[in-house]
Amino acid sequence: MDMNNNATPTSRPKAAYYAVAAGRKPGVYTTWNEAEAQVKGYAGAKYKKFPTQTQAEEFISTSSSSAFSSLTSSTTSSSSTSKNNKPYSKPPTLTPFNTHRRAESPTTQSSPSSLPDHLQEIASRGYAFTKDYYLIVHTDGSALGNGQKGSRAGAGVFWGESGEAAKKNYSERVPGLTQTNNRGELLAVIRALEQCPYPDVPLEIRCDSQYTISCMTTWLPKWLRTNFRTSSTPYTRSNANTTTQQQSKQISNVDMVKHLLVLLRRRSGRGKVKFKYVPAHSGIEGNERADQLAKMGSLMPESNGAVKWLTPEEEEISSTENRKDAEDMKGLSGGVTDVEVELDENWLMSAEELDNFEKDLMDE
pTM reported for the whole predicted model = 0.67
Beta bridge partners of 273: 203, 339
Q: Note the pLDDT of residue 78.
A: 40
> What domains can you pick out in the chain, each with its CATH number?
17-65 (3.40.970.10), 112-230+244-310+336-361 (3.30.420.10)
User: Looking at per-residue confidence, does 347 or 302 come out higher?
Assistant: 302
* Alpha-carbon separation of residue 60 from 35, 53, 110, 280 (angstroms): 13, 11, 32, 18
Query: Under 8 Å CB-to-CB from 329, ≥6 apart: which residues?
Result: 316, 319, 320, 323
Which spans in the chain are helix H? 32-39, 53-66, 68-79, 117-123, 163-168, 181-195, 210-214, 220-225, 254-266, 285-299, 312-322, 351-362
Looking at every residue in the chain, the average pLDDT score rounds to 76
Q: Among 149-158, 173-182, 276-285, whose mean pLDDT is lowest?
A: 276-285
Q: Note the pLDDT of residue 233.
A: 55
Residue 330: its H or E element: none
Task: Check whether 85 has a pLDDT greater than 70.
Answer: no
- Cα–Cα distance measured from residue 203 to residue 309, given in angstroms and rounded to the nearest whole number: 22
Q: What average pLDDT score do residues 132-139 get?
A: 97
Contact yes or no for 310/258 (Cβ under 8 A): yes
Q: Note the pLDDT of residue 240.
A: 55
User: Looking at per-residue confidence, does 210 or 104 come out higher?
Assistant: 210
- What does the pLDDT look like over 162-212, one tens digit per residue? 999 999 999 999 999 999 999 999 999 999 999 999 999 999 999 999 899
* Strands of the 203-207 sheet, one edge to the other: 170-173, 152-158, 135-144, 203-207, 273-277, 339-342
- What does the pLDDT look like over 318-362, one tens digit per residue? 666 555 443 443 433 344 445 666 555 555 555 555 556 555 544
Q: Note the pLDDT of residue 54.
A: 73
Smallest Cα–Cα separation from 216: which of 233, 232, 198, 203? 203
Task: Check whether 10 has a pLDDT greater than 60.
Answer: no
Q: Note the pLDDT of residue 282.
A: 83
- What does the pLDDT look like over 70-80, one tens digit per residue? 444 444 344 33
- Cα–Cα distance measured from residue 305 to residue 308, given in angstroms and rounded to the nearest whole number: 10
Residue 131's pLDDT band, with cuts at 50, 70 and 90, is: very high
What type of residue sits at position 47?
A: Y
Q: Among 97-111, 171-185, 299-313, whose mean pLDDT is lowest?
A: 97-111
What percent of the chain clears pLDDT 70, i.e. is strictly above it? 65
- Cα–Cα distance measured from residue 217 to residue 95, given in angstroms and rounded to the nearest whole number: 35
**DSSP code, position 197:** S
Q: Among 6-15, 135-144, 244-253, whose mean pLDDT is lowest?
A: 6-15
Q: Note the pLDDT of residue 129.
A: 97
Query: Under 8 Å CB-to-CB from 25, ≥6 apart: which residues?
Result: 38, 88, 91, 92, 300
Task: Check whether 316 has a pLDDT greater than 50.
Answer: yes
* Secondary structure (H, E, C), 352-364: HHHHHHHHHHHCC
Beta bridge partners of 139: 157, 207
**DSSP code, position 252:** T
